[in-house]
Structure 1
Amino acid sequence: MLFDSPSLSSSQQVKSITWENCDSGKLPGTIKSLSISPDPVSIPGEVIVSVVLNTEVPLSSPLQIKITAEKELFGDWLTAPCIDKFGSCTYTEVCDLLDAFFKPGQQCPGPLQTYGLPCHCPFRAGSYSLPTTSFKIPSFSLPSWLAEGNYRVTGILSHKNQEIGCAKFTFSLAEPSSWWW
Protein backbone atom coordinates (compact mmCIF):
# COMPACT_ATOMS: atom_id res chain seq x y z
CA MET A 1 0.00 0.00 0.00
CA LEU A 2 1.27 3.49 -0.88
CA PHE A 3 0.66 6.44 1.35
CA ASP A 4 2.03 9.93 1.82
CA SER A 5 3.32 10.60 5.30
CA PRO A 6 4.62 14.17 5.55
CA SER A 7 4.29 14.11 9.33
CA LEU A 8 7.21 11.66 9.46
CA SER A 9 9.50 14.11 7.67
CA SER A 10 11.35 16.80 9.59
CA SER A 11 12.55 18.52 6.43
CA GLN A 12 10.93 21.09 4.18
CA GLN A 13 11.39 22.27 0.64
CA VAL A 14 11.31 25.78 -0.78
CA LYS A 15 10.11 25.63 -4.39
CA SER A 16 9.69 27.96 -7.34
CA ILE A 17 11.47 31.01 -5.91
CA THR A 18 10.97 34.16 -7.99
CA TRP A 19 11.97 37.76 -7.30
CA GLU A 20 11.58 41.27 -8.66
CA ASN A 21 12.36 44.83 -7.64
CA CYS A 22 9.03 46.41 -6.58
CA ASP A 23 9.67 49.68 -8.35
CA SER A 24 11.09 48.43 -11.68
CA GLY A 25 14.54 49.37 -10.42
CA LYS A 26 13.86 53.11 -10.02
CA LEU A 27 14.89 53.35 -6.36
CA PRO A 28 18.58 53.85 -5.50
CA GLY A 29 18.89 50.32 -4.07
CA THR A 30 18.24 47.37 -6.40
CA ILE A 31 18.84 43.70 -6.87
CA LYS A 32 20.57 43.45 -10.25
CA SER A 33 20.61 39.65 -10.31
CA LEU A 34 19.81 36.76 -8.00
CA SER A 35 20.15 33.06 -8.61
CA ILE A 36 19.14 30.37 -6.13
CA SER A 37 19.48 26.65 -6.73
CA PRO A 38 18.59 23.84 -6.63
CA ASP A 39 14.85 23.99 -7.12
CA PRO A 40 13.53 22.86 -4.73
CA VAL A 41 15.88 23.91 -1.93
CA SER A 42 15.79 21.35 0.88
CA ILE A 43 15.86 22.41 4.53
CA PRO A 44 18.11 21.23 6.03
CA GLY A 45 20.38 21.12 3.05
CA GLU A 46 22.60 23.11 0.80
CA VAL A 47 21.70 26.15 -1.28
CA ILE A 48 23.76 27.76 -4.02
CA VAL A 49 23.36 31.53 -4.33
CA SER A 50 24.76 34.26 -6.51
CA VAL A 51 23.64 37.87 -6.19
CA VAL A 52 24.49 41.36 -7.38
CA LEU A 53 23.14 44.28 -5.33
CA ASN A 54 23.52 47.94 -6.17
CA THR A 55 23.06 51.10 -4.16
CA GLU A 56 23.44 54.58 -5.62
CA VAL A 57 23.55 56.08 -2.12
CA PRO A 58 25.63 55.20 0.94
CA LEU A 59 23.73 53.25 3.58
CA SER A 60 24.23 54.08 7.25
CA SER A 61 22.33 53.98 10.49
CA PRO A 62 19.39 54.25 10.91
CA LEU A 63 18.46 51.60 8.33
CA GLN A 64 15.03 50.01 8.56
CA ILE A 65 13.62 46.94 6.81
CA LYS A 66 9.88 46.41 6.73
CA ILE A 67 8.92 42.83 5.83
CA THR A 68 5.40 41.96 4.73
CA ALA A 69 4.83 38.21 4.55
CA GLU A 70 1.64 36.87 3.01
CA LYS A 71 0.29 33.35 2.70
CA GLU A 72 -2.25 32.26 0.11
CA LEU A 73 -5.32 30.70 1.67
CA PHE A 74 -8.32 29.71 -0.46
CA GLY A 75 -7.29 32.11 -3.22
CA ASP A 76 -6.83 35.13 -0.93
CA TRP A 77 -3.55 36.54 0.40
CA LEU A 78 -3.47 36.86 4.18
CA THR A 79 -0.80 38.87 5.99
CA ALA A 80 1.17 36.79 8.49
CA PRO A 81 1.54 38.58 11.84
CA CYS A 82 4.90 39.38 13.42
CA ILE A 83 5.46 36.70 16.07
CA ASP A 84 8.84 36.42 17.84
CA LYS A 85 10.46 38.60 15.15
CA PHE A 86 9.19 36.29 12.38
CA GLY A 87 6.50 37.16 9.82
CA SER A 88 5.40 40.67 8.85
CA CYS A 89 7.82 42.64 11.00
CA THR A 90 9.64 45.94 10.93
CA TYR A 91 13.29 45.83 11.92
CA THR A 92 14.05 49.42 12.93
CA GLU A 93 17.83 49.17 13.12
CA VAL A 94 19.42 46.83 10.60
CA CYS A 95 22.92 47.96 11.55
CA ASP A 96 22.37 46.70 15.12
CA LEU A 97 21.09 43.37 13.76
CA LEU A 98 24.22 43.00 11.65
CA ASP A 99 26.36 43.75 14.69
CA ALA A 100 24.50 41.03 16.63
CA PHE A 101 25.28 38.45 13.92
CA PHE A 102 28.79 39.64 13.05
CA LYS A 103 30.61 41.03 16.07
CA PRO A 104 32.15 44.49 15.46
CA GLY A 105 35.91 44.41 15.16
CA GLN A 106 35.97 40.85 13.86
CA GLN A 107 36.48 39.92 10.22
CA CYS A 108 33.42 39.15 8.16
CA PRO A 109 32.82 35.41 7.83
CA GLY A 110 33.61 33.03 4.97
CA PRO A 111 32.43 34.12 1.55
CA LEU A 112 31.87 37.73 2.59
CA GLN A 113 35.53 38.11 3.49
CA THR A 114 36.67 36.14 0.42
CA TYR A 115 34.86 38.52 -1.95
CA GLY A 116 35.52 41.71 0.01
CA LEU A 117 31.89 42.22 1.03
CA PRO A 118 31.16 44.25 4.16
CA CYS A 119 29.04 42.90 7.00
CA HIS A 120 28.72 46.12 9.03
CA CYS A 121 27.30 49.57 8.46
CA PRO A 122 28.01 51.91 6.81
CA PHE A 123 27.89 50.58 3.24
CA ARG A 124 29.33 52.78 0.53
CA ALA A 125 27.44 53.48 -2.68
CA GLY A 126 28.30 50.94 -5.35
CA SER A 127 27.80 47.40 -6.53
CA TYR A 128 28.12 44.34 -4.28
CA SER A 129 28.58 40.97 -5.93
CA LEU A 130 28.55 37.52 -4.38
CA PRO A 131 29.59 34.98 -7.02
CA THR A 132 28.11 31.49 -6.96
CA THR A 133 28.52 30.35 -3.35
CA SER A 134 27.23 27.34 -1.45
CA PHE A 135 25.65 27.68 2.01
CA LYS A 136 24.42 25.04 4.43
CA ILE A 137 20.88 25.58 5.72
CA PRO A 138 20.34 24.16 9.21
CA SER A 139 17.18 22.39 10.27
CA PHE A 140 14.53 24.56 11.87
CA SER A 141 10.83 24.29 12.57
CA LEU A 142 8.03 26.53 11.45
CA PRO A 143 4.64 26.76 13.14
CA SER A 144 2.27 24.24 11.58
CA TRP A 145 0.08 27.02 10.15
CA LEU A 146 3.10 28.26 8.17
CA ALA A 147 4.58 24.90 7.21
CA GLU A 148 3.08 24.52 3.72
CA GLY A 149 1.66 26.83 1.08
CA ASN A 150 2.33 29.66 -1.33
CA TYR A 151 3.96 32.84 -0.05
CA ARG A 152 4.74 36.41 -1.07
CA VAL A 153 7.32 38.36 0.89
CA THR A 154 8.03 42.04 0.29
CA GLY A 155 11.00 43.81 1.87
CA ILE A 156 11.34 47.60 1.92
CA LEU A 157 14.66 49.15 2.95
CA SER A 158 14.45 52.73 4.26
CA HIS A 159 16.85 55.33 5.62
CA LYS A 160 15.41 58.22 7.64
CA ASN A 161 11.92 57.56 6.22
CA GLN A 162 13.20 57.60 2.63
CA GLU A 163 12.64 54.38 0.68
CA ILE A 164 15.97 53.08 -0.64
CA GLY A 165 14.95 49.74 -2.15
CA CYS A 166 12.10 47.28 -2.40
CA ALA A 167 12.02 43.64 -3.50
CA LYS A 168 9.29 41.02 -3.77
CA PHE A 169 9.82 37.28 -3.50
CA THR A 170 7.37 34.45 -4.15
CA PHE A 171 7.85 30.79 -3.27
CA SER A 172 6.11 27.66 -2.08
CA LEU A 173 6.87 25.71 1.08
CA ALA A 174 6.19 21.99 1.17
CA GLU A 175 7.19 18.91 3.06
CA PRO A 176 8.77 16.35 0.75
CA SER A 177 6.69 13.25 0.21
CA SER A 178 7.75 10.10 1.97
CA TRP A 179 6.58 6.97 0.30
CA TRP A 180 6.38 3.66 2.09
CA TRP A 181 5.85 0.34 0.29
Structure 2
Amino acid sequence: MSTSMPRLLDAHSFAPLSPPASAARTVFDNGVEAEISVITDRHCVMRDDRELLAASLRALRDASNVPKGRVVVSVNNGTVVLDGRTSYYYERAAAECAVRFLDGVRSVENHILVEPPALAHDVRVCIADALLRTAVDEATQIAVQAVGGTVILQGIVSSSAERDVAERAARTVDGVRTVIDNLIVST
Protein backbone atom coordinates (compact mmCIF):
# COMPACT_ATOMS: atom_id res chain seq x y z
CA MET A 1 0.00 0.00 0.00
CA SER A 2 1.51 3.23 -1.04
CA THR A 3 0.86 6.44 0.77
CA SER A 4 1.66 9.65 -0.93
CA MET A 5 3.30 12.42 1.02
CA PRO A 6 1.41 15.68 1.05
CA ARG A 7 2.93 18.37 -1.10
CA LEU A 8 3.37 21.10 1.42
CA LEU A 9 4.93 23.44 -1.07
CA ASP A 10 1.76 23.49 -3.13
CA ALA A 11 -0.51 23.90 -0.12
CA HIS A 12 0.15 27.62 0.19
CA SER A 13 1.28 29.57 -2.78
CA PHE A 14 2.00 33.21 -2.24
CA ALA A 15 2.33 35.83 -4.90
CA PRO A 16 5.85 37.19 -5.28
CA LEU A 17 6.54 40.55 -3.69
CA SER A 18 6.11 43.20 -6.34
CA PRO A 19 4.55 46.60 -6.58
CA PRO A 20 0.84 46.67 -7.25
CA ALA A 21 -0.12 46.41 -10.87
CA SER A 22 -1.03 49.62 -12.58
CA ALA A 23 -4.32 49.26 -14.44
CA ALA A 24 -5.43 51.19 -17.49
CA ARG A 25 -8.91 51.04 -19.01
CA THR A 26 -8.78 50.78 -22.78
CA VAL A 27 -11.57 50.80 -25.38
CA PHE A 28 -10.73 48.97 -28.61
CA ASP A 29 -12.03 49.82 -32.13
CA ASN A 30 -14.63 47.06 -31.96
CA GLY A 31 -16.18 48.65 -28.85
CA VAL A 32 -14.76 46.13 -26.37
CA GLU A 33 -13.66 47.73 -23.15
CA ALA A 34 -10.80 46.05 -21.30
CA GLU A 35 -8.67 46.72 -18.28
CA ILE A 36 -5.02 46.10 -19.00
CA SER A 37 -2.68 45.55 -16.05
CA VAL A 38 1.02 46.12 -16.28
CA ILE A 39 3.03 44.31 -13.63
CA THR A 40 6.60 45.36 -13.07
CA ASP A 41 9.16 43.45 -11.08
CA ARG A 42 11.22 45.67 -8.78
CA HIS A 43 14.38 43.73 -9.68
CA CYS A 44 13.91 44.64 -13.33
CA VAL A 45 13.62 48.35 -12.59
CA MET A 46 16.91 49.89 -13.59
CA ARG A 47 18.05 52.68 -11.34
CA ASP A 48 21.23 54.67 -11.39
CA ASP A 49 23.49 53.91 -8.40
CA ARG A 50 23.38 57.57 -7.35
CA GLU A 51 19.56 57.51 -7.32
CA LEU A 52 19.57 54.22 -5.41
CA LEU A 53 22.07 55.63 -2.90
CA ALA A 54 19.87 58.68 -2.33
CA ALA A 55 16.78 56.47 -1.90
CA SER A 56 18.69 54.20 0.51
CA LEU A 57 19.83 57.16 2.60
CA ARG A 58 16.25 58.47 2.79
CA ALA A 59 14.93 55.03 3.75
CA LEU A 60 17.52 54.65 6.52
CA ARG A 61 16.83 58.17 7.78
CA ASP A 62 13.09 57.51 7.90
CA ALA A 63 13.36 54.08 9.55
CA SER A 64 12.60 54.57 13.24
CA ASN A 65 14.57 51.51 14.45
CA VAL A 66 17.81 52.44 12.67
CA PRO A 67 20.21 54.46 14.85
CA LYS A 68 21.04 57.76 13.16
CA GLY A 69 24.64 58.28 12.11
CA ARG A 70 25.77 54.72 12.84
CA VAL A 71 25.04 53.04 9.50
CA VAL A 72 27.00 53.78 6.32
CA VAL A 73 25.53 52.81 2.96
CA SER A 74 27.14 52.40 -0.46
CA VAL A 75 25.77 51.11 -3.76
CA ASN A 76 27.51 49.22 -6.55
CA ASN A 77 25.55 48.05 -9.62
CA GLY A 78 22.30 47.69 -7.68
CA THR A 79 23.91 45.99 -4.67
CA VAL A 80 23.39 47.96 -1.47
CA VAL A 81 26.21 47.52 1.05
CA LEU A 82 25.53 48.39 4.70
CA ASP A 83 28.40 49.00 7.13
CA GLY A 84 28.62 50.39 10.63
CA ARG A 85 27.86 49.39 14.20
CA THR A 86 24.61 49.03 16.10
CA SER A 87 23.88 48.18 19.71
CA TYR A 88 21.17 45.62 19.02
CA TYR A 89 20.40 43.00 16.39
CA TYR A 90 16.95 44.45 15.66
CA GLU A 91 18.62 47.71 14.56
CA ARG A 92 20.83 45.76 12.14
CA ALA A 93 17.79 43.92 10.74
CA ALA A 94 15.77 47.16 10.48
CA ALA A 95 18.51 48.78 8.39
CA GLU A 96 18.51 45.85 5.98
CA CYS A 97 14.72 45.79 5.78
CA ALA A 98 14.63 49.55 5.08
CA VAL A 99 16.62 49.17 1.84
CA ARG A 100 15.85 45.62 0.69
CA PHE A 101 12.57 46.41 -1.06
CA LEU A 102 13.54 49.66 -2.77
CA ASP A 103 13.07 49.72 -6.54
CA GLY A 104 16.28 48.75 -8.30
CA VAL A 105 17.88 46.87 -5.40
CA ARG A 106 19.35 43.63 -6.73
CA SER A 107 20.85 42.47 -3.42
CA VAL A 108 21.86 43.68 0.03
CA GLU A 109 25.15 42.95 1.77
CA ASN A 110 24.76 43.62 5.49
CA HIS A 111 28.15 44.09 7.17
CA ILE A 112 26.78 45.92 10.21
CA LEU A 113 28.40 44.75 13.45
CA VAL A 114 26.30 44.40 16.57
CA GLU A 115 28.10 45.63 19.66
CA PRO A 116 25.93 45.46 22.77
CA PRO A 117 26.23 48.46 25.06
CA ALA A 118 28.18 48.06 28.25
CA LEU A 119 25.90 48.31 31.25
CA ALA A 120 27.30 49.86 34.41
CA HIS A 121 25.51 47.26 36.51
CA ASP A 122 27.14 44.38 34.58
CA VAL A 123 30.58 45.97 34.95
CA ARG A 124 30.04 46.56 38.69
CA VAL A 125 28.98 42.93 39.23
CA CYS A 126 31.96 41.64 37.26
CA ILE A 127 34.40 43.75 39.27
CA ALA A 128 32.80 42.69 42.58
CA ASP A 129 33.05 39.01 41.59
CA ALA A 130 36.69 39.38 40.53
CA LEU A 131 37.64 41.19 43.74
CA LEU A 132 35.81 38.62 45.87
CA ARG A 133 37.72 35.82 44.11
CA THR A 134 40.92 37.53 45.18
CA ALA A 135 39.61 37.85 48.75
CA VAL A 136 39.32 41.63 48.59
CA ASP A 137 36.15 43.45 49.59
CA GLU A 138 36.78 46.97 48.27
CA ALA A 139 34.39 46.46 45.35
CA THR A 140 31.82 48.65 47.04
CA GLN A 141 34.21 51.63 46.95
CA ILE A 142 34.51 51.56 43.16
CA ALA A 143 32.11 53.71 41.18
CA VAL A 144 31.42 52.59 37.62
CA GLN A 145 30.16 54.74 34.78
CA ALA A 146 29.39 53.19 31.39
CA VAL A 147 28.85 55.38 28.35
CA GLY A 148 28.54 53.46 25.11
CA GLY A 149 31.51 51.12 25.03
CA THR A 150 33.59 53.23 27.42
CA VAL A 151 33.74 52.39 31.14
CA ILE A 152 35.08 54.83 33.71
CA LEU A 153 36.30 53.42 37.05
CA GLN A 154 36.58 55.79 40.01
CA GLY A 155 37.22 55.23 43.67
CA ILE A 156 39.85 54.09 46.14
CA VAL A 157 41.55 50.68 46.33
CA SER A 158 44.20 49.52 48.75
CA SER A 159 46.78 48.16 46.28
CA SER A 160 47.82 48.30 42.65
CA ALA A 161 46.96 44.58 42.40
CA GLU A 162 43.33 45.39 43.27
CA ARG A 163 43.41 48.18 40.70
CA ASP A 164 44.59 45.72 38.02
CA VAL A 165 41.94 43.16 39.01
CA ALA A 166 39.18 45.79 38.73
CA GLU A 167 40.40 46.98 35.34
CA ARG A 168 40.71 43.42 33.95
CA ALA A 169 37.24 42.57 35.25
CA ALA A 170 35.76 45.64 33.53
CA ARG A 171 37.36 44.61 30.21
CA THR A 172 35.68 41.18 30.31
CA VAL A 173 32.12 42.58 30.12
CA ASP A 174 30.42 42.35 26.71
CA GLY A 175 30.34 45.68 24.92
CA VAL A 176 33.27 47.27 26.76
CA ARG A 177 35.81 48.67 24.28
CA THR A 178 37.69 51.13 26.48
CA VAL A 179 38.35 51.29 30.23
CA ILE A 180 39.39 54.59 31.78
CA ASP A 181 41.03 53.79 35.10
CA ASN A 182 40.69 56.71 37.54
CA LEU A 183 41.16 54.48 40.62
CA ILE A 184 43.37 55.83 43.39
CA VAL A 185 45.63 53.49 45.37
CA SER A 186 45.53 54.42 49.05
CA THR A 187 48.76 54.09 50.96
Q: TM-score, normalised by structure 2?
A: 0.22
Question: When you count helix as a share of all residues, which structure comes out higher?
Answer: 2
Question: Per chain length, whose mean CA-contact separation is higher, i.e. which structure has more relative contact order (CA < 8 Å, sep 6+)?
Answer: 1
